[in-house]
Amino acid sequence: MTTVLETLSSDLASAVSAAGQSIVRVEARRRQSATGVVWSADGLIITAHHVVERDDNIRVGLPNGTIVNAALVGRDPTTDIAMLRVEVSDLTPATWAALESVKVGHLVLAVARPDANLQATLGVISALDAAWRTGEGGTIDAFIQTDVVMYPGFSGGPLVSAGGQMIGLNSSALMRDTPVTLPAVTLRRVATALLAHGKVKRGFLGVSAQPVRLPEAIASQVGQETGLMLMAVEPGSPADSGGLIMGDTMLALDGEKVHHMDDLLALLTGDRIGKTVPVLVLRGGQQQTLTVTVGERK
């Protein structure tokens, strides 16, 4: 008589096998190969940025064992996503799970192809939270953490549900000592930008800053306790051209309050590039509004 555990074991093996039709090996760094996922049948592969250490001489090992050359379409270091293209037209694209279907406690599999064979580890969704920003300023639409073991070569591979759908892409580079999963909604947004521009466009002011507590009287007037003191303004930058100077405390950009550097980075989106926006600063104890034309980060 088949036991519950035997049935579960068989179902998980089937999930790995089904997902494996869309999982490839990525050879783009000196030592350990990594993993990628078929994005489209006509040869697009999505993987982790940090495992693509070179822009050329990239090879991809397909599920059928064939090894083909790949070209780099684009990369976004801030979200640790890269996209490759192979000249193959009959690949099996991944089936992605809706973020709303993911729950804490769900059984999941990290699946990889660091060599010719599939590898998998089992765990659960241990944490699920709202959107967050990476240390490089990229936006991830949900925080997904698991207790699966990420062996060498697993980065760039998928997190797979017990039903065989792919929840997102695994990365070991965005948080220190903590692998996270980039949800499919983030992959779609970044992939669209990479296909269009080869990168994700982001705004640029040319400042370095740190949060400071505002004087009580000023805080009461502006309705916020902290702002961003400019520690440096790059010569010739948009901030410099707009009249911002070292020592200014930035309170708001384009009508949105800024308390921390993350707030400023979140406002410097691609749609603000080339746009002239008001910047509210505190200078010499007085509020001033300057105008700055947002540049594009190179």
Which residue numbers are catalytic? 50, 80, 155
Six-digit token string for 233: 């303004």
Q: For residues 113 and 24, what is the distance between their CA atoms, to the nearest angstrom?
A: 6
What percent helix, strand, coil does the chain show, rounded to 5?
20, 40, 40
Distances (CA, A) of 104 to 109, 126, 127, 146, 147: 14, 6, 6, 9, 11
Q: What single-letter amino acid sits at 264?
A: L
Q: For residues 232 and 57, what is the distance between their CA atoms, to the nearest angstrom?
A: 40
Q: Degrees (nearest 5) of the Cα angle 99, 100, 101?
A: 90
Q: Spell out the residues 6+ positions from residue 258 whose beta carbon is closer than 8 angstroms to its own.
A: 227, 228, 250, 251, 252, 264, 267
Q: Looking at the DSSP assignment, which residues form a beta bridge with residue 80?
A: none
Q: Looking at the DSSP assignment, which residues form a beta bridge with residue 83?
A: 46, 74
Q: For residues 15 and 167, what is the distance between their CA atoms, to the nearest angstrom?
A: 13
Q: How many contiguous H segments (helices) and E segments (strands) does the chain have?
A: 5, 22
Contact between 112 and 51 under an 8 Å Cβ cutoff? The reply is: no
Q: For residues 268 and 266, what is the distance between their CA atoms, to the nearest angstrom?
A: 6
Number of neighbouring beta carbons within 10 Å of residue 130: 8
